[in-house]
């Protein structure tokens, strides 16, 4: 395919799916592989015509000894193209174990959280990833094998909105082979990831073994599967619109916890019961993620036939509980027998992603005498506090509540109470309390029950000139 033809097709894809608007700032996720390298070069060609501001972001999954070389290579590519560069890293294998996810799913979760955090910092309207038509075909097959429902088999959407940011796939209608030709003709190199040849990874096996077998029956099977995904997605969107009023009638709640009234739920058609449960999971987690058809069906059967008090654990820390007349879908796994929750050290300034608690905590230094800083210090919100710089020290600690923890709730005149009593009075279910994040000094003084209540010690002194603002951003995996 000629350069002109590829650019024309990509422009058409971007326009048809309303991926970008003139003047947008877009964060491009670049691994250094062929597809993402082609994407950043194509966007470099389009940026003037679309008046785009382009940033490059690279996430080091720390899965290979030479991963740092990939980061250095992408950084050099960014400098060559004149784009700002952002680098992040995460311990994917450790996250996989903590979250009970596959390494691939954990990597995806941390990578997207990083890309969205870069978008927030840069004020970007879009995040672009290098998914191709081949990725679409492989995803359809992989989800069929895993037993996904209609939404899963519909594959990778060209555009989805996450935390107010468009996640776009400009290459979703272009094949890997076409991108390889484009780069070769331009004399552009890329880096090959040797793990892409590991047949123990399902996606690799599908790409290297299953798809070539199917091509023996239909040489255009990749195109056919991608078109099949498009048709399913369009049908699914239409069904969502038609079903929305009935589903809304049985759900109550939002992020963190949703309740389903069982009497009207039982009268819905089976297909709408499943859609209601998927919507409940999406509301509490921000995404359905790795919750598959088999999980939704298990929750549906428990809703209709389960005993009161029955509990079902879903992937991604979603807990389903059968109550009297209701089904509760909430974030937060049941506590394992014994053991403390993880502890994170938050340098000041700095940030930390605490996946177990579902939050991204960011600490930044600000001037204490700024009017808006004083206003926030005097009126802390559940998701943002401002404290005296001296109180924060060089680092803060994020952890779960511990026996004996006490704090003085902000605005209560310094009266202290047990954190456990506060959580009980606030209506936090017992099984979820250990997963409520608590921010403390390095000496253990409680400064903030994150997402709920600041403590008196978080105040700014009258003579303070420097302060620390701490924000809690909910993870959307």
The whole-chain average pLDDT of the chain stands at 87
More confident residue, 335 or 242: 242
Buried b (16+ CB within 10 A) or exposed e, 298-321: bbbebbeebeeeeebebbbbbbbb
In 157-256, beta strands by DSSP E: 159-162, 165-168, 251-254
Neighbours of 397 (CB within 10 A): 18
Residue 203 pLDDT greater than 60, yes or no: yes
Three-class secondary structure of residue 403 per DSSP: coil
As a whole number, mean pLDDT of residues 246-268 equals 88
- CA separation (Å) from 253 to 256, 263, 434? 8, 17, 21
Handedness of CA 16, 22, 25, 30 (dihedral sign): positive
For residue 1, what are the contacts with CB-CB under 8 A and spacing of at least 6? 178, 181, 182
Q: Using 50, 70 and 90 to split pLDDT, how confident is the model at 465? A: confident
- Is it true that the peptide bond before 298 is cis, omega within 30 degrees of 0? no
Residue 215 pLDDT greater than 60, yes or no: yes
- CA separation (Å) from 21 to 16, 17, 18, 41, 59? 12, 11, 7, 19, 26
What are the tens digits of pLDDT across the range 54-93? 999 999 888 888 788 899 999 999 999 999 999 988 888 8
Q: Using 50, 70 and 90 to split pLDDT, how confident is the model at 245? A: very high
Set out the domains of the chain in order of their start, with CATH numbers. 3-225 (3.40.50.620), 251-331 (3.30.465.60), 344-474 (3.50.40.10)
What are the tens digits of pLDDT across the range 108-142? 888 998 999 999 889 999 999 999 999 999 999 99
**pLDDT score, position 336:** 38
CA distance 283 to 166: 18
Residue 53's beta-bridge partner residues?
25
Percent of the chain beyond pLDDT 90? 46
As a whole number, mean pLDDT of residues 313-321 equals 83
**pLDDT score, position 339:** 42
Q: Alpha helix locations (H) across 417-472? A: 419-425, 430-433
Three-class secondary structure of residue 87 per DSSP: strand
Residue 477 pLDDT greater than 60, yes or no: no
Residue 338 pLDDT greater than 50, yes or no: no
Q: How far apart are the first and last CA of the chain?
A: 36
In 368-477, beta strands by DSSP E: 384-388, 395-399, 406-407, 417-418, 438-441, 446-449, 453-454, 466-474
Residue 148 pLDDT greater than 80, yes or no: no
What are the tens digits of pLDDT across the range 347-396? 888 888 777 787 889 899 888 878 777 777 788 888 899 888 888 888 89
């Amino acid at each position: 395919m000629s350069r002109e033809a590829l650019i024309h097709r990509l422009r058409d894809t971007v326009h048809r799916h309303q991926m970008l608007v003139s003047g947008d700032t877009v964060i491009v996720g670049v691994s250094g592989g062929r597809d993402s390298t082609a994407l950043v070069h194509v966007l470099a060609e389009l940026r003037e015509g679309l008046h785009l501001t382009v940033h490059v972001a690279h996430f080091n999954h720390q899965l290979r000894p030479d991963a740092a070389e990939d980061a250095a290579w992408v950084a050099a590519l960014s400098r060559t193209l004149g784009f700002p560069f952002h680098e992040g890293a995460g311990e994917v294998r450790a996250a996989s174990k903590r979250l009970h996810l596959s390494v691939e799913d954990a990597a995806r979760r941390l990578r997207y959280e990083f890309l969205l955090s870069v978008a927030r910092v840069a004020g970007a309207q879009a995040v672009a990833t290098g998914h191709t038509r081949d990725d679409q075909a492989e995803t359809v097959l992989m989800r069929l094998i895993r037993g996904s429902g209609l939404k899963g088999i519909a594959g990778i959407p060209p555009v989805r909105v996450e935390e107010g940011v468009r996640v776009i796939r400009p290459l979703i209608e272009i094949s890997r082979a076409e991108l390889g030709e484009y780069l070769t003709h331009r004399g552009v190199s890329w880096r090959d990831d040797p793990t892409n040849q590991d047949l123990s990874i399902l996606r690799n096996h599908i790409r290297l073994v299953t798809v070539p077998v199917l091509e023996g029956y239909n040489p255009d099977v990749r195109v056919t599967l991608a078109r099949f995904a498009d048709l399913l997605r369009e049908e699914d969107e239409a069904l969502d619109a038609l079903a929305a009023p009935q589903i809304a009638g049985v759900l109550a709640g939002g992020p963190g916890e949703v309740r389903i009234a069982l009497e009207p739920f039982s009268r819905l058609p089976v297909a709408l019961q499943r859609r209601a449960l998927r919507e409940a999971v999406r509301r509490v987690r921000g995404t359905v993620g790795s919750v598959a058809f088999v999980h939704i069906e298990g929750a549906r059967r428990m809703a209709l036939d389960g005993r009161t008090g029955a509990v079902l654990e879903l992937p991604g820390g979603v807990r389903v509980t059968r109550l009297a007349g209701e089904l509760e879908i909430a974030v937060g796994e049941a506590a394992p027998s014994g053991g403390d929750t993880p502890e994170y050290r938050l340098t000041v300034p700095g940030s930390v992603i605490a996946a177990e608690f579902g939050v991204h905590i960011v600490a930044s230094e600000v001037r204490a005498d700024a009017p808006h800083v004083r206003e926030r210090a005097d009126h802390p919100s559940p998701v943002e506090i401002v404290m005296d710089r001296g109180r924060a020290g060089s680092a803060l600690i994020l952890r779960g509540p511990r026996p004996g923890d006490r704090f003085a709730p902000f605005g209560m005149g310094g009266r202290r109470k047990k954190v456990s009593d506060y959580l009980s009075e606030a209506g936090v279910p017992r099984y979820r309390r250990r997963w409520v994040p608590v921010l403390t000094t390095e000496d253990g003084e409680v400064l903030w029950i994150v997402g709920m209540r600041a403590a008196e010690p978080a105040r700014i002194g009258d003579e303070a000139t420097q302060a620390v603002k701490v924000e809690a951003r909910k993870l959307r995996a």
